[in-house]
Amino acid sequence: MGTYTNAEGKVKNCFKIRYNREVTGLIYGEEEKERNSVIGLRYTDHSSKSTKIKYNKHAYYQFDVALQPGEAVNTLANLGLEQAPEVGFAGPSLRLDVPIPLDRLAEFSKHNNYMEVLRPGVVLAWQMRMQANGKLFIGAAGTKANYGHVEPRIDEAFAKDRHLLQLNMVNDVVPDVMSVALGRNTTGQTLTAEDLKLLIDKKIAHIAVKRRAVRPNGFITVGDAHRQKDGARIANLSINTDGGSGGVSLAPASNFMNMLAEQNRKNQKAKVTEVTEAFAAKVFHYGSSRGRA
């Protein structure tokens, strides 16, 4: 995305990614004109296990913050912002790393796809590919359930049932792979909890269950941010979250809407005409973090 030269004459990258940093707070200005603007971020540096505050080192002409916190439940509220009602959906995932015999590598090298696997009432997101280490990777996730504000556990009946269902759906599609993994012909068979445990013990199967936020109205959260304690709109902060399974697909559209919101905040005439004002108003209404819809 290019470079720029700062006030000290140093060339800097326009875009940077900082890993192992978890934003835990927003810092607002103390002066009257900055009280409703973010001037810094409080974060935990997981590399050094310390809490730090990040301020801009230079006085930029304009400083805007786009908050895209992912799908963790209550993230906005934990940052002191108004948040629409949301619930947590538990989602189990299954990963398989199946060692393929050398004499069958050519045969399994064609196992490379990304798709959705369907059963009545079940949609499983899936990807499969041969890795350079000679292991066939299969990743499967889906089959979520409403868990409200309770954190799911991997030893609960829900997770055990869903992981076994995922394993059997894999066997339905690629029994040749599962036959290699389990050392027997699994075509047409119903795999058992003992089969899954064997694969886990052999470090072929890896299971997890996590929770992510979903809004009851099924909409994304997009647009302006408002502080909890006084309801003030934060002048330089926009929100983009609760995209769910379509979060990546929706990202261009939701970022586009945030661009419109930014233009509205600055009372600029919109430079884009792809949507009508009425349509934009509906999106901001249903996607408001204030949860009025």
Of 127 and 148, more confident = 127
Mean pLDDT for 162-187 is: 96
Examine the pLDDT at 147 and tell me if it is beyond 90.
Answer: no
End-to-end CA distance of the chain: 37
Amino acid 90: pLDDT: 81
Amino acid 245: pLDDT: 63
Among candidate residues 104, 93, 110, the one with its CA nearest the CA of residue 180: 104
**Residues with Cβ within 8 Å of residue 289, at least 6 apart in sequence:** 76, 81, 82, 83, 84, 221, 223, 224, 225, 226, 239
- Give the tens place of pLDDT for each residue, 252-263: 777 778 777 777
Examine the pLDDT at 184 and tell me if it is beyond 60.
Answer: yes
Examine the pLDDT at 247 and tell me if it is beyond 70.
Answer: no
Residues paired with 13 in a beta bridge = 3
**Residues with Cβ within 8 Å of residue 195, at least 6 apart in sequence:** 167, 182
For 262, the enclosing helix (H) or strand (E) is helix 247-265
Amino acid 189: pLDDT: 96
Three-state secondary-structure class, residue 9:
coil
Amino acid 75: pLDDT: 86
Of 268 and 47, more confident = 47
- Give the tens place of pLDDT for each residue, 69-119: 776 778 888 899 998 877 777 888 999 999 999 999 999 998 998 888 888
How many angstroms separate the CA atoms of 215 and 85, rounded? Answer: 6
Write out the E strands in the chain.
3-5, 11-13, 21-28, 38-45, 50-55, 65-67, 87-99, 113-119, 122-130, 135-142, 145-148, 205-214, 221-226, 233-241
For residue 59, the one-letter residue type is A
Amino acid 293: pLDDT: 45
For residue 181, the one-letter residue type is A
Mean pLDDT for 285-291 is: 82
Mean pLDDT for 231-239 is: 90
pTM: 0.65
Burial 117-134 (b: 16+ CB within 10 A, else e): beeeeeebbbebebeeee
